[in-house]
Amino acid sequence: MPRISDLQRNQRFAHAALAGVVADVSELVDQPPDLGSAWLPPLLSALDRLAFMLRDHFRAEEASHLYRGLGHDFPWLAFRLERLKGEHSEMLDELRAYLAPAADGVPSPAPARRIRIRVHMLLAKLHRHEAEETEILLAAHWDEERRARSWDG
């Protein structure tokens, strides 16, 4: 079993790598509405980058001990990990769904508002998801420490 502290460090690096593109998407989606449709092409480009990075990020996480072994090592975390793993495909599906209609052309103000709201919701879901992964690793770390102390007597 890998040390939980190693999993935490790897996760911090992976989440930091995503932070730049998430910040780009957040900044672009918050452009003033009076820009008309000028904000859409850069936003779509940033969303494409986010989708690409998330796909690779989720694959790496799912291949790591975080999703392959932590639930076995700490059974009380298994349900949460399974739920979070399911969110990976949900978020990627949401991204694809947001990109498809937006890529059809210049949105009217109503669809532009919907795009903004949907992207904000996706970013909020991603932040919550990452925070819960971090919380799970912290809980496992403390359980691991507690077990080590109980063996030390």
Instruction: Give dist(CA 93, CA 104) in Å, integer.
Output: 17
Long-range contacts of 74-78 (CB under 8 A, 24+ apart): 74/139, 74/140, 74/143, 77/136, 77/139, 77/140
Instruction: Say which residue the tokens 């949105």 belong to.
Output: 107
pLDDT digit string, tens, across residues 48-99: 999 999 999 999 999 998 899 999 999 999 999 999 999 999 999 999 887 7
Instruction: Give dist(CA 66, CA 130) in Å, integer.
Output: 12
pLDDT digit string, tens, across residues 9-57: 888 888 888 999 999 999 998 887 666 667 788 888 899 999 999 999 9
